[in-house]
């Protein structure tokens, strides 16, 4: 049905088009006058075949202005379906019409805007920005007659270019200008697209992964029925964030659930990004050949001259896999260098400036995430707290140089928690291990151990007494398994007297005396208590009763007499491990 105004006049396809209401625009009657706006609406709705067929039908009948309008949208259509040679041909057909005396400022706007859009897709952001500024000038020449939809589109494109030039603050300003115009004029589809763009960019530069995932998920529900291109962008970004959190299974499941959105969009870049993410999900599973196959598919969907920013990281992952497999990666590195030589000089300058700056996020506020990646690349452990705080767990194996290991336990350098890595996820547990528990893990990581050898190696007792010491071994196993959460089975019991660490597990500990993650500290690096302490005293110093505690609590916990507990406590006070406050029954013992 056609909408009528209060005066009873039929609203034309052009009216709906300029209101960003493409669904209603395509319902208008087909005519020479409406055809350009139907072509534009079909392109923005992703119905590319209909748009192209309609252009062929009316091409010879169009005026110069109608032809410029139609070619602008067809250029965008071919770009979005990754047919870049055809898109270039169309945009330059428009460019050759720029001197026609029959063109007004609106048509010249479309010519410059089209070339800016095309250069943007070629990652030539400085050039794209220059054309966008020319398009903006044509709008300014129209004064109050300028078309609000065009104003929103040019501000959006300027914003995208600034983001990709590594200037997110300026990019945000222009995207918000576009969003303000869209809201003021009730451009609902464009508004949703801009809100999605802002959130996607925010999630690329911001550190709060959980917040961004939830926001993007809510937005996906709103956009999935309206805009395939934007929906695909959101799906891929959410998957990247899950990957960055080290939640490989969630990333994989989310992609599988939303496959149809990616492929329905009919964009080769999106398919390439999808395959790249799936390849990265396979790396923790050590499925390297499958990952290489996916990367090969990703590269086939990209153009060496156009998709430089996407191809470079893909080749980087490929080189990483080849290094793990001890295969020659020289050819891949040469391809990377070749791509870098083609990269927009403005982007290279931005990278160089960042590298010359301090990597402190406070000094690089525009891109704290980029600063974080640089610190990880340099193996700077000072960034570990930021990774933990923001749950960027995917970067932890890279920081500790343990990529390619199937199962990994990483003890926090300050022993403030531990990372547990497998092919499903990277978890962080705030459960702190005592020094004797760390020594226990170190002992198990070298070979299968008996209770007797553990008692002597970990706790330093010269003689093994099962009645006195078995409880100490079993209690330690129980507490370490609890600290490992669902990875507790990594501590294996082989019969009644043999214990070991899962042979697939790599234990990583970095201490002040052992900074290399490839070197295991010796057990005596963690000596905490002298050999003459009994197991009860060791457990008290490990905090089994908290802090402070009384002699009565000690007696009840260990099921001993109060006199025995009193002797243990006096001995610890005399040796400087405890101090006491109060008198008689009010006496409390405090850990130093």
Same domain, 493 and 451: yes
Confidence of residue 2 (pLDDT cuts 50, 70, 90): very low
Checking if the pLDDT of 275 tops 90, the result is yes
**Block residue for tokens 């153009």:** 303
> What pLDDT was estimated at residue 293?
94
Q: Give the pLDDT score at 591.
A: 80
The reply to whether 415 and 475 lie within a common domain is yes
More confident site: 338 or 215: 215
Residue 545 sits in the same domain as residue 509 = no
First vs last Cα of the chain: how many Å apart?
Answer: 82
Residue 517 lies in a domain: yes
Separation between Cα atoms, residue 421 and residue 486, nearest integer Å = 12
Give me 177's structure tokens.
């200008």
What per-residue confidence (pLDDT) applies to 121? 83
Q: Is the pTM of this model over 0.75?
A: no
Average pLDDT value for the chain? 84
Last residue of a domain, one of 526, 552, 579: 526
Please tell me whether residues 487 and 571 are part of one structural domain: no
For residue 568, the enclosing domain spans 535-591
Is there a single domain that holds both residue 423 and residue 481? yes
Q: Give the closest residue to 258 by CA, choosing from 234, 292, 283.
A: 234
Residues 237-248 have pLDDT tens digits of 999 999 989 999
Q: Does residue 425 sit within a domain?
A: yes
Virtual CA dihedral for 462, 466, 470, 471, nearest 10 degrees? Answer: -110
Q: Is 387 part of a structural domain of the chain? A: yes
Residue identified by tokens 């589809």 is 189
Residue 371 vs residue 586, higher pLDDT: 586
- Mean pLDDT for 93-119 is 91
Single out the residue in 469, 495, 526 at which a domain terminates: 526
Residue 571 counted as domain residue: yes
Residue 492 token pair: 């294996």
Do 440 and 549 lie in one domain? The reply is: no
Q: How many residues can be counted in the chain?
A: 592
More confident residue, 366 or 86: 86
Distance CA 71, CA 87 (A): 9
Looking at the structure, tell me whether residues 375 and 427 fall in a common domain.
Answer: no
Give me the percent of the chain exceeding a pLDDT of 90: 36
Averaged over 49-54, what is the pLDDT? 96
Same domain for 419 and 442: yes
Distance CA 371, CA 357 (A): 9
- 180 assigned to some structural domain: no
pLDDT higher than 90, residue 34? yes
What is the CATH classification number for the domain harbouring 539? Answer: 1.10.10.10
pLDDT at 290: 93
What are the E-state strand segments in 266-389? none
Count of CB atoms within 10 A of residue 83's CB?
Answer: 15
Tell me if 324 is assigned to some domain. no
Domain boundary among 526, 554, 576: 526
| Interval 442-472: pLDDT, tens | 899 888 999 999 988 888 888 888 887 888 8
455 and 564 assigned to the same domain? no
> For tokens 């491990």, what's the residue?
577
Same domain, 519 and 559: no
Q: What is the CA radius of gyration of the chain?
A: 32
519 and 429 in a common domain: yes
Q: Peptide bond before 455: cis, by omega within 30 degrees of 0?
A: no
Q: What total number of domains does the chain contain?
A: 3
Residues 391 and 439 in one domain: no
Q: For residue 487, give the DSSP letter.
A: G
Asked if the structure places residue 384 within a domain, the reply is: yes
Tell whether 470 is covered by a domain: yes
Closest by CA to 75, choosing from 92, 66, 87, is 87
Query: Do residues 119 and 131 lie in contact, with contact meaning Cβ atoms separated by under 8 Å?
Result: yes
């Amino acid at each position: 049905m056609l909408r009528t105004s209060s005066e009873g006049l039929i609203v034309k396809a052009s009216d709906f088009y300029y209101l960003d209401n493409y669904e209603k625009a395509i319902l208008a009657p087909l005519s020479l006058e409406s055809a350009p706006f139907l072509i534009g609406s079909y392109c923005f709705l992703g119905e590319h075949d209909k748009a192209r067929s309609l252009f062929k039908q009316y091409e010879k009948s169009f005026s110069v202005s109608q032809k410029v309008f139609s070619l602008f949208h067809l250029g965008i259509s071919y770009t979005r379906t990754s047919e870049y040679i055809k898109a270039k041909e169309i945009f330059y057909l428009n460019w050759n019409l720029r001197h026609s005396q029959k063109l007004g400022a609106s048509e010249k706007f479309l010519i410059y805007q089209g070339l800016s859009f095309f250069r943007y897709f070629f990652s030539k952001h400085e050039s794209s920005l220059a054309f966008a500024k020319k398009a903006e000038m044509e709008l300014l020449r129209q004064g109050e007659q300028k078309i609000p939809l065009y104003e929103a589109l040019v501000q959006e494109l300027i914003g995208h270019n600034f983001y990709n030039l590594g200037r997110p603050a300026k990019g945000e300003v222009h995207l918000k200008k576009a969003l303000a115009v869209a809201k003021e004029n009730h451009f609902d589809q464009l508004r949703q697209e801009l809100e999605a763009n802002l959130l996607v960019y925010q999630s690329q530069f911001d550190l709060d992964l959980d917040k961004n995932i939830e926001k993007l998920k809510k937005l996906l529900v709103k956009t999935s029925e309206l805009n395939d291109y934007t929906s695909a962008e959101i799906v891929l970004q959410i998957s990247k964030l899950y990957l960055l959190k080290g939640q490989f299974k969630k990333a994989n499941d989310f992609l599988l659930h939303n496959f149809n959105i990616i492929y329905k969009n009919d964009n080769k870049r999106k398919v390439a990004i999808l395959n790249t993410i799936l390849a990265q999900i396979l790396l923790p599973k050590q499925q390297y050949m499958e990952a290489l196959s996916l990367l090969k598919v990703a590269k086939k969907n990209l153009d060496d001259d156009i998709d430089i920013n996407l191809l470079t990281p893909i080749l980087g992952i490929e080189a990483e896999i080849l290094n793990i497999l001890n295969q020659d990666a020289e050819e891949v590195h040469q391809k990377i260098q070749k791509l870098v030589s083609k990269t927009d000089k403005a982007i290279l300058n931005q990278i160089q400036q960042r590298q010359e700056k301090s990597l402190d996020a406070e000094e690089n506020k525009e891109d704290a995430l980029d600063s974080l990646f640089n610190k990880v690349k340099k193996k700077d452990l000072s960034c570990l707290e930021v990774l933990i705080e923001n749950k960027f767990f995917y970067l932890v194996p890279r920081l500790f140089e343990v990529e390619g290991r199937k199962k990994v336990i990483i003890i926090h350098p300050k022993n403030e928690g531990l990372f547990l890595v497998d092919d499903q996820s990277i978890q962080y547990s705030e459960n702190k291990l005592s020094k004797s528990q760390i020594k226990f893990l170190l002992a198990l990581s070298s070979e299968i151990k008996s209770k007797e050898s553990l008692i002597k190696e970990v706790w330093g007792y010269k003689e093994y007494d099962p009645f006195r010491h078995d409880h100490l071994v079993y209690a330690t196993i129980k507490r370490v398994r609890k600290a490992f959460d669902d990875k507790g089975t990594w501590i294996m019991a082989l019969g009644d007297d043999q214990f070991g660490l899962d042979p697939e597990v790599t234990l990583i500990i970095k201490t002040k005396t052992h900074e290399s993650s490839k070197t295991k500290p010796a057990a005596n690096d963690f000596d905490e208590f002298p050999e003459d302490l009994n197991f009860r005293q060791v457990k008290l110093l490990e905090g089994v009763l908290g802090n402070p505690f009384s002699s009565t609590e000690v007696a009840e916990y260990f099921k001993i007499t109060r006199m025995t507990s009193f002797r243990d406590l006096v001995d610890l006070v005399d040796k400087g491990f405890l101090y006491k406050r109060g008198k008689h029954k009010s006496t409390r013992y405090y850990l130093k």
